[in-house]
A and B are shown apart, each in its own frame.
Chain A
Amino acid sequence: MTDQTTQPSVTSPARASKGGMFGLSSKDTTLLLVVFAMVVLAPFILNPFPEGSGLAQFNAGYPDLMQRFVIFGIFAIGFNILFGLTGYLSFGHAAFLGVGSYAAMWSMKLFTLNVIPGILFAVIVAGLFAAAVGFISLRRSGIYFSILTLAFAQMSYALAYSVLTPLTGGETGLQIKNTDNPILSNIPEGEIGRANLFGAQMGNSYEMAVGNWLFTFNLGYYIAAAFMLVAFYLSIRIFRSPFGMMLRAVKSNQQRMNYTGLTPKTYTLYAFIISGMYAGLAGGLMVAMDTQVGPERMFWTASGEVVIMTILGGAGTLIGPVLGAGSIKYMENILSKINKDVLHQWFAFLPDGLEDAVVVFADIFVGKQWHFTLGIVFMLVVIFLPGGLVEGAQRITARFSRKKSSNNTPAE
């Protein structure tokens, strides 16, 4: 193959050290820096419309939603390490998120309200749980693997809901109560402790008003964002490492791996554990941001959600899962707020009869029916864009720059 040099994205580890920073190739460094800038400036980027204007409801720059963007971004990045690289479709990843949440919760209830130990504890516990589940589930592949992971997740859900109530709070879940007194935090008698980072509370925000715009900088968001950037950086390193090549080999040809004297199962198990730890990190962060957890976090539809996020953004690509998680959470929060009144406002310029017809039609896609839109979009992506949004973006760029059309790099 003489044209190998024209495929910069198939990066060997040796080449990766050239050009960029942090041990990344220059292309990956750019990607990381772009993501870094986007995440840091998110309060600006996500709030493009002034307060009080008709479009203000499209603003996503409020702390709660921004936190969800990065947390689910972490969840999807981790899922992508398993599914995107090895092709093993786990339908039970929410279990690890839930276990991580419970672990972080208990760390906060018993030891300290500082979020860092809680999050680390969540990662460790979720990793151990993933090791156990992965060890058993990876004995099978294909749909059998999917069903096994699904079975484990559903079992965790059912147990958390019923028998493990002393540990999980059952249906009501766990919250921090005024009776909780973590041994390392001094909480005045009868007061409810709050999650903090060395004393600074997660809810702390700095609000900046510029003209009609209001930007909110939230401590919790930036902590979650820092974790997400680290997670993203690690995933780039995994993608470019020899280990990442092994995981791709698991996807493309396990038999050949076996003949070469490598054990695909070991590599897949490591990938499974890593992605379980990512899920645990996401779960721990969720508890850090909002100190409560319930079993529904482990229900299989939650596992399905992360699958949808990853595919929608582009499985096997670096940035895809983050995009997918972001767009789904955006749809969930913004589309679901639109109701008939809002639609009538928008289409008020149309003649009356037409306006009603348009509103009735558009109403199918928004408000409580936002899942309908999600389902349609997801189906369209699976049918026409198997590479997800990333592939869509690549096709568009390819169309606009025909000159480079010989450079058919695979989605990365």
Chain B
Amino acid sequence: MDQIIVQILNGLDKGSAYALIALGLTLIFGTLGVVNFAHGALFMMGAFCAVVLSRILNLSHEVTVPGETDFLGNPATKDVPYVYDWFGEAAGASIIDWAVPLAILFSIPIMVALGFAMERGLIKHFYKRPHADQILVTFGLAIVLGEVIKYYFGANPIQTPAPEALSGRVDFGVWLGYGPNAIVYPMWRLVYFFFSAAIIAGVFAFLQFTTFGMVVRAGMADRETVGLLGIDIDKRFTFMFGLAAAVAGLAGVMYAPIVSPAYTMGMDWLVLSFVVVVVGGMGSLPGAVLAGFMLGIIESFASLPAVVDLLPGINQIIIYLVAIAILLTRPRGLMGRKGVMED
């Protein structure tokens, strides 16, 4: 039983990353009708926002340590981050420690700006072009963004630790009434799950309970009519692109401590998140979230040793198998709307 709970937790954790990326993809597709192959790259940019912020916070200057000398007899020096000077040593240290959560605030404006720039600069010109062209141009953009990151940060993954207070392990079993140490789980992964749940809830609440969101939903259902009612739907859709970029970026920021960011992560996640979107149904937001969590859980159950012994290699291909099965039996995915992407 405790095995199963661990796998459910693993699945929820992985699924929340899938769900966040797929949600952003679907926001873009549902509003603008654009298939964005650069979405994985946005996820990667988010993760590198965390890297950049922690580097900025670690910017330091040399000071001499009075009364000490190094082995050559010169006055000893040490690097002191600027944040120590500004906030004092204790506060400065904890600011550096909390770089990843702080990067959430740091990344939002960057990602929104990047999203706006992408939409206004590039995607705008592709609304009337075939989906294949959209896929291709955003695929090219994904290559370019990946290479830019590689140029500035190198090809190797960069470790970006979570704050110390959140990087330990939780004795999760105790909460459920098991004995101590029955189910021990990394704290940050739980944080990630709750964080993404909050983001998903926030996006849905925004769409459901604000006037802006209502107009956007109306535009997704019938763009022309909304336009005829005198609403500048394009402007709102541009905003939604920024929002989707921010969601992908936040997913990346918080994922940085789990998998060290590298320039390849965009491409790695892109394929899976597209599978998720298609399984959920193109254009369906609840479908994307549902499929994300579902595939995450299925994948982690397929990794159970008992299952792998029975069907070797199943953990590697299960997502694709499920995707093929669903696409063949439910052509529109789990919750896809009629008439979307059926040309």
B234 at the interface (CB under 8 A from A): no
Complex Cα gap A386–B125 (Å) = 13
**Contacts of A369 on B, CB cut-off 8 Å?**
147, 150-151
Residues of A within 8 A of B137 (CB): 379, 382-383
Query: For residue B136, which residues in chain A have a CB less than 8 angstroms away from its CB?
Result: 307, 311, 378, 382
User: Is the pair B278, A144 in contact by a Cβ cutoff of 8 Å?
Assistant: yes
Q: How far is the CB of B20 from chain A (nearest CB, A)?
A: 19
Q: Mark A372-406, 1 if CB is under 8 A from B, else 0.
A: 10111011001100100000000000000000000
A364 vs B147: C-alpha distance when bound (angstroms):
9
A136 / chain B contacts, CB cutoff of 8 Å:
324, 328
Q: A143-B341, A155-B317 are in contact. Are A87 and B132 (CB under 8 A)?
A: yes
Provide the bound-state CA to CA distance between A374 and B321, in Å. 33
Q: Is B271 an interface residue (CB 8 A)?
A: yes
Residue in chain A with minimal CB distance to B136: A382
Which positions 282-335 of chain B face chain A at CB distance < 8 Å?
282, 312-313, 316-317, 320-321, 323-324, 327-328, 331
B227 within 8 A of A: no
Query: Does A152 lie within 8 Å of B324, measured CB to CB?
Result: yes
A372 x B271 contact (CB < 8 A): no
| A304 interface contact, C-beta 8 A | yes
Q: Would A383 and B131 count as touching, CB distance under 8 A? A: no
Residue of A nearest to B150 (CB): A369
Question: Which among A58-66, A119-127, A159-167, A326-334 touches the partner chain?
Answer: A159-167
Q: Does A151 contact B (CB under 8 A)?
A: yes
Q: Cβ of A177 < 8 Å from any Cβ of B?
A: no
Chain A contact-residue range equals 35 or more
B341's contact among A144, A304, A371, by CB below 8 Å, is which? A144
Q: How large is the interface on B (under 10, 10 to 19, 20 to 34, 35 or more residues)?
A: 35 or more
Q: Is the CB of A162 within 8 A of B316?
A: yes
Contact B317 A158 (CB under 8 A): yes
Q: Chain B contacts of A308 at CB under 8 A?
A: 139-140
How distant is the Cα of A300 from the Cα of B155 in the complex, in angstroms? 19
CB interface residues, A 44-101, toward B, < 8 Å: 87, 89
Q: How far is the CA of A147 from the CA of B135 in the complex (A)?
A: 12
**Known: A139-B328, A158-B313, A162-B316. Is A372-B147 also a contact (CB below 8 A)?**
yes
Contact at B331–A147, with CB atoms within 8 Å? no
B83 touches A (CB below 8 Å) = no
The verdict on B144 contacting chain A, using a C-beta distance below 8 Å, is yes
What does DSSP make chain B's interface, helix, strand, loop or mixed?
Answer: helix
Q: Which of B129, B144, B274 contacts A147 (CB 8 A)?
A: B274
CA distance in complex: A148, B35 (Å):
16
Q: Cβ of B323: which chain A residues have Cβ within 8 Å of it?
A: 147-148, 151
Tell me, yes or no, whether A247 is within 8 Å of chain B by CB: no
Flag A245-270 by CB within 8 Å of B: 1 or 0 each. Answer: 00000000000000000000000000
A residues within 8 A CB of B155?
Answer: 368
A140/B327 contact (C-beta < 8 A), A158-B316, A159-B313 known: yes
Rounded to whole Å, the gap between the CB of A257 and the closest CB of chain B is: 15
Q: Are B140 and A375 in contact (CB under 8 A)?
A: yes
Q: Does A301 contact B (CB under 8 A)?
A: yes
Does A154 make an interface contact (CB < 8 A)? Answer: yes
8 Å CB interface, B121-135 against A: 122, 125, 129, 131-133, 135
Interface string of A336-377 (1 = CB under 8 A from B): 000000000000000000000000000010001101101110
16 A–B contacts, CB within 8 A, in A order? A143-B131, A143-B135, A144-B278, A144-B327, A146-B135, A151-B320, A154-B320, A162-B313, A308-B139, A368-B150, A371-B147, A372-B143, A376-B140, A382-B133, A383-B122, A386-B133
Interface residues of B (CB under 8 A from A): 35, 122, 125, 129, 131-133, 135-137, 139-144, 146-148, 150-151, 155, 267, 271, 274-275, 278, 282, 312-313, 316-317, 320-321, 323-324, 327-328, 331, 341-343
Q: Apart from A144-B327, A372-B148, A379-B144, what are 14 other A-B pairs with CB-CB below 8 Å?
A: A136-B328, A147-B275, A147-B327, A148-B323, A150-B275, A154-B271, A155-B320, A158-B313, A164-B313, A304-B139, A368-B150, A374-B143, A375-B143, A382-B140
